[in-house]
Structure 1
Amino acid sequence: MLRLNQSHLTKLETCPRQFQHSILEQFLSPVAPDLQEKAEWGKHFHLLMQQQELGLPLSPLLEQEQEMGASVISLLNATHERRLNHPQHWQEAEHARTLNFEDFLLTVVYDLLITQPNQGEIYDWKTYPKPKKHQLLAQQWQTKLYLFVLAETSHYQPEQLSMTYWFVQSKTASSSPDKTAIQSARIAYNVKQHETIRQQLKTLLNQLKQDLENYERQNIPFPQVAEEKGICPRCLFAHRCQRNAVSVQGNSSRESPLVDLDQIAELPI
């Protein structure tokens, strides 16, 4: 049974042929040095937050990485009061869940899951700036999949769930250690959204079943995105897809939809 995460769903929705090349055939896109550096920073930051939730000492690590330490402290200060307001809460860092849906295993890993009797909230740490449009967050597959899976695998009603993104900007955090240094965006949830996502998933996964069958039994490639969408000129697989490719070496890698998100801790929208 194929396991799918939010990165895979994004690839399927963006361009099914991208899913074929990167997931089924394991052709990975090269990562630009600047993105690789940001990825390492993000991975290290997530590790520190996980250690903090496990009660492990952070002082030696924070002394070595002062800028990152300031970001960790700012985030802890920003979220501390919200956690104390719920004395019956339970929380776990790097909480993983799996949902069997339409013959696929949908997998999620929450940076932090906080629950109380009548409410569940997902926290996600982001090391890129907060998007100007709140709707961008609500529409991305990470938000939709994380909330959908939690609703399907818990006793909570959709209206009792939410997801909060915390945007850790190291420069801001280091210069201003108070709570205002960390921006956040809370995504509420409801039954209507839940059923809409259910239908979106069914449509996407039913198409994937058909594409997989054609690919495995008849060696028919996955469909390509329409050229008028403007994705191909920035795609590192354009030559493989026999599309009119341009040089992508000078382009910012953050614009490419084909950077393997599983290898990047944080990537701007």
Structure 2
Amino acid sequence: MNLIDYKLLEILETTPEKFPDLERESIYTPGFCERVNVLSKQFHLIMQQIGMGLSVEPLLNNSPQIKEWVEKVQPIISIPAIAKSWNASLQKLISNNLLVAQYDLILEKEERLIAIDWSIQARPFSYHQLLESWQTQLRLFLLLENSSFAPEQIGISYLLVNSKDIPIYHFGYSKQQHEEFQQKLESILSKLPETEKNVSPTALSEFERDASELKIEKFLNGELTTQEYLATVPEVEI
């Protein structure tokens, strides 16, 4: 089974010959921006804790920058909803290919299903470029495929919290977009080389969850007490 995220779809479209040489670590990298710097990782970890209802005040008091970002996101995450799914991962199996995408938050309202992605990316992206990206299109596709909503009821919003005017990019969806993406997806997946390494279904968790997420899962499963979990959370450096 091939594990496919938006980055591998980009590679398959542009340079499919490079696909077989990719290492496991590159197969699943969630998020709108490259989450490689410390502040970004800590910001996303704190947002996960907020979603779990844990107190983050001590962490925020140690980092005015992250506190500012959280305050910018607060009006969005406070929107009333029937259900809220934090740090969600959606998948769909097509032939021997498991498509995966990650979402910071999914808000389910009575007649709307909205995915939210927050990023510390400072430079605003081109609206059209972001709309046409594999990242956005795959997220919308999987959002629809994993729900009972109509295409017109689906949407995704990107929040660039580190920008001065906090730009928000929102994209709706349609049946036509969905059908066109399906055709494009089939064409791209057909480029998969026969020598591509297979990935077993049981290996999925190794790609999509880092150590901090595994600790969160243990906490939710009752394997860690609140005190034990909080003790594993790294301090936010100023």
Structure 2 match to 1:124: 117
Structure 1 match to 2:104: 111
Counterpart pick for 2:184 among 176, 190, 200? 200
Alpha-carbon distance between aligned partners in 1 of 2:88 and 2:34, rounded to the nearest angstrom: 25
Q: Does the 8 A contact of 1:21 with 1:27 survive in 2?
A: no
Which one has a bigger Cα radius of gyration?
Answer: 1
Q: Match of 1:74, as an amino acid?
A: K
Identity of aligned residues (%): 27
Backbone CA RMSD of aligned residues = 2.7
String of CA shifts for 1:224-249, please: whole Å, max 9, x gaps. xxxxxxxxxxxxxxxxxxxxxxxxxx
TM-score computed with the length of structure 1 as normaliser = 0.65
Q: Alignment partner of 1:123: what SS? A: strand
Q: Match of 1:45, as an amino acid?
A: F
Q: How many aligned residue pairs are there?
A: 194
Q: Alignment partner of 1:212: what SS? A: coil
Alpha-carbon distance between aligned partners in 1 of 2:184 and 2:35, rounded to the nearest angstrom: 34
Misfit runs of 4+, over 6 Å: none
Q: Alignment partner of 1:61: what SS? A: helix
Counterpart pick for 2:49 among 48, 51, 61? 51
Structure 2 match to 1:76: 74
Q: Alignment partner of 2:194: what SS? A: helix
Change (3 A) 1:57 1:27: closer
Q: Does the 8 A contact of 1:97 with 1:107 survive in 2?
A: yes
Counterpart pick for 2:153 among 153, 160, 184? 160
Q: Match of 1:56, as an amino acid?
A: L
Q: Alignment partner of 1:169: what SS? A: coil
Structure 2 match to 1:234: none
Instruction: Give the C-alpha shift of residue 130 in structure 1.
Output: 5.0
Structure 2 match to 1:188: 172
Alpha-carbon distance between aligned partners in 1 of 2:185 and 2:61, rounded to the nearest angstrom: 45
Gaps of 5+ in 1: 29-34, 173-180, 217-261, 264-269
Structure 1 match to 2:133: 140
Q: Does the 8 A contact of 2:35 with 2:41 survive in 1?
A: no
Residues 93-104 of structure 1: pairs in structure 2 closer than 5 A = 93-104=86-97
